[in-house]
Amino acid sequence: MGSYNYYKMFGCFNRKFKISESEPPPDVMNAFRRYSEGGAHMSADQFARFLVEYQGEEGCTVADADRIMHEVIQRRHHLTKYTRRGLSLEDFFYYLFQDDLNPPLPSQVHHDMTAPLQHYFIYTGHNSYLTGNQLSSDCSEIPIIKALERGVRGIELDLWPNSAKDNVHVLHGRTLTTPVTLYKCLKSIKEHAFVKSPYPVIITLEDHLTPDLQAKVAEMVTQVFGDMLYYPEAVSLEFPSPEALKHRIILSTKPPKEYLETKQNKEDGVSPLGKDSFEEEFFKKETPTQSETDAKYDSDLDDEDGDFQNQKASQQAPPEYKRLIGIHACKAKHGVRHALVTASDKVKRLSLNEQELEKAAASCGTDVVRFTQRNILRVFPKGTRVTSSNFHPMMGWTHGAQMLAFNMQGYGKCLWMMHGMFRANGGCGYVKKPDFLMNRGPYNELFDPKRPVVVRKTLKVSVYLGDGWRLDFSHTHFDSFSPPDFYTKVHIIGVPADEAKKKTRIIEDDWGPIWDEAFTFPLTVPDLALLRIEIREHDMSEKDDFGGQTCLPVSELRPGIRAVPIYDKKGEKLRSVRLLMRFQFI
């Protein structure tokens, strides 16, 4: 064994665990000296000037600064009475590193919410009832609740007859997924729809029901949602706005007439285009196990259905199923291009799978953009994603697709991007699309993602330091015998011209790494760009360990020195880990 390998095996026992308080980086000390005018403390007046001039917080008053200073003094020194003259350098540094007091993004809804629905990207789930994979996981109301509590505004339910054909199950059809009752799903949506956001929840129904069962669904949704349910008196010629639809539930599905046409096509051996076609790709007929599973759950459904029948007995007959559809879905019966360019007075929703979107973007990208200026486009994962993985969302966004249906249990980089996009606008689940996706140019041209454009903005990102891992992870999590060796990856996700990857150097043996490095990113379409940040721990013998991640919409970044909260692989916020960074647009 060579001496180097011998040292790596045994010499590491002599390496010390270095745990020290982070020192303020030079930029922080320089800012403090500048705004405290060389004094030992920064007054409320000086602090307010720092917030306005350095941090870009227009409208910040001395009273606002004083309130923040009071909070900082209380937290740091546990003083109930604010008697200090101002902030010391240590107080100032402490403030900058608090992600609740100094976050990288605005925390309030600030986009115009009065435009029609098609003007917004909408946080949308796919097969929202699944707990795991697309083949054999349980169906449950729990993933629906979790999604709504995260701010998801689009919930998908697949409706199938039970084995006796007399009631409705929610499950992924012709797979081994165990069903959940529709009533339980609807009740959960009602109870949790507006916990995170007041803006409307759209329930997209994949409807495989007979007319009798559709009537049963109509009764159920009107009984559960009551006045919360939005449906227009006549077929809508324009979508309402999120503001007008606050605290409302909207159903979106094919009208029954189209259902019957689709059913006839299937009986004639014609497969409709644009369908969420998992079962066509994997299961040509229903598995025997499914009916056995249905029977097992029928008794549970009967109990709940009894409650539903009792509650609705005294109510008037509900409106027919077709009238309850607030957003009409259509299928690409004659091909995707035809569906995109066919003019119609009525606004509609079209569903395409990710492969159909890719083909349309390549062959007729501006037609996709034109369609989404008036109508809603929903894009869902291809059927081969049996592990509930997700597709890259940027192609959909750059073509104006409002509803990119994601498996919220399909953790990974694509879902991190989705989380990042919908951290915008206060996390309310609706993000206003850039004007260029909704308007035409000076020569009546449509936005074309493939057309090269000039750099409009340059983002400078400074990665100062990180801390908190020693509180959120065990001391042997990253390395059994030494402190971790952290580095940070900084990526821009956007149109092809803007894509970029940078990373800091590795800081060895330190739980509180100080990198103090800066990177610049020229951006042609900053409105759609995401800043993806990932911390990794270098490992010479194995794959580098994951140390946290976040994804931030560039258009929402607050300039200045900011405390950036960090999330785990599932998108849950780590309790203590955060980075100190600076964002500048130059």
The set of catalytic residues is 126, 172
Q: What is the CA radius of gyration of the chain?
A: 27
* Residue with the two structure tokens 């529709």: 182
Rounded to the nearest 5°, which phi and psi values hold at 562? -135, 150
* Residue with the two structure tokens 């094919």: 254
Q: Which two tokens stand for residue 569?
A: 């692989």
The per-type count for the chain, helices as H runs and strands as E runs, is 17, 21
Region for 363 from its dihedrals, namely left if φ exceeds 0, alpha if ψ lies in -120 to 50, beta otherwise: alpha
Across the beta sheet with 560-567, the strand order is: 500-503, 486-493, 530-537, 545-553, 560-567, 573-585, 457-467, 514-523
Cα–Cα distance, 426 to 198 (Å, whole number): 12
Cα–Cα distance, 537 to 478 (Å, whole number): 7
Q: Which two tokens stand for residue 67?
A: 């309130």
Report CA-CA distances (Å) from 17 to 5, 14, 250, 483: 21, 10, 56, 5
Cα–Cα distance, 531 to 554 (Å, whole number): 6
Cα–Cα distance, 516 to 275 (Å, whole number): 50
Which ranges of 342-382 does DSSP label H, i.e. alpha helix?
Answer: 354-374
What are the DSSP calls for 201-258, one per residue? EEEEEEE---HHHHHHHHHHHHHHHGGGEE--SS--SS---TTTTTT-EEEEE--HHH
